[in-house]
Amino acid sequence: MSPTELSSPFSLQNEIVAITGGGTGIGLAMAHAMHAAGARVLLIGRREAELAAAVKSLGERASFFVHDVTQLDAAPTLVERITREVGPITCLVNNAGIHLKKPAVETTPEEFERVLRTHIVGAHALIRAVAPGMIERKRGSILFTASMASLFGIPLVIAYTAAKSAMVGMVKGYAVELSPHGIRVNAIAPGWIETEMSRKALDGDPTRKNKILSRTPMAKLGLPEDIGWAAVYLTSPAARFVTGVTLPVDGGVSIGF
C-alpha cells in the first residue's frame, strides 16, 4: 500500500518515526504500517542482524540504529546522532520491552527492576532526549505500547503488569505536560495478537488458547497489522485532538465477560 492510497488525514509523510524494539513482532508491524503511510522509519534495537533484515523488508525511507534502551546515559547521544544523520524525530514509539513469566513471590527485586528499567525508565530517558526538540518545534507525537496487563490482572507476570500499568499513568502525565506544546502522547493496549512469540506459547497449550478465544468477543486473535494501523491513526493528523488515551486494540477482551 502506498501513501497515495491513504486518505490525507492519515498520511505520515514528512514524519520521522523512531520505533524502539522495531526489528520484530508488533514493533515491525507498526514500522510497516507507518512506512506505508509515508513516514521515514527508524528502527531501534539491540540486535543488528534483525534490524538489518527488517530494514531490508521495508525498503527505502527506512534505516536502523543499534541501541539498548537500558543504557540510559546513551539516549541523548542516540537522539543527537539521528538528528544529525536523518533529521529530528517527530514521532517516538516506545515499544521495546522484555517479558518475565514467574510467580510473584518468586520474582526477585532485581528481576522486577530489570523489567521496569526496560519498559519505563528506558522510555523516560528517550523522551527526555527527544521532547526538548519537539517542544521547540511545537509539534510531535509520542506513543507507548501498553498491554492488556495495563487494564486487568494477569497471573504470573507481576513485573510486566507493573510496567505496563505504569505506562498508562505515564501517558496521562506526559500528555498534560507536553500537549500544551503541541505534543500528543498516547498508547495502544494490544490484546492477544498472532505473532511468532504467541504462536510458540499457544500452539503447545490449546487449553490456554481456547480460554483466550472464549474471552474475546470477536473470537479470534488479532494480527500485527491491526496494531500497526492503530499506530498510524494515533500519530496522524486524523487524531490531532486525541491525547492522553490508551486505546485497546483487543477484539473486545477488555470489555467482554
Tell me which amino acid residue 54 is: A
Which residue in the list 144, 160, 192, 229 is annotated as catalytic? Answer: 160
17 closest CA partner among 187, 145, 116, 140: 140
Query: Is residue 79 packed enough to be buried (19+ CB in 10 Å), middle (13-18) or exposed (0-12)?
Result: buried
185 closest CA partner among 149, 140, 249: 140
Under a CB-based contact definition with an 8 Å cutoff, are residues 254 and 215 in contact? no
Under a CB-based contact definition with an 8 Å cutoff, are residues 235 and 9 in contact? no
Q: H or E element: which one contains 6?
A: none
Based on the residue annotation, tell me whether 233 is a catalytic residue of this protein: no
Neighbours of 103 (CB within 10 A): 10
User: From CA 140, how far away is CA 84, in angstroms rounded?
Assistant: 18
Give catalytic residue positions.
160
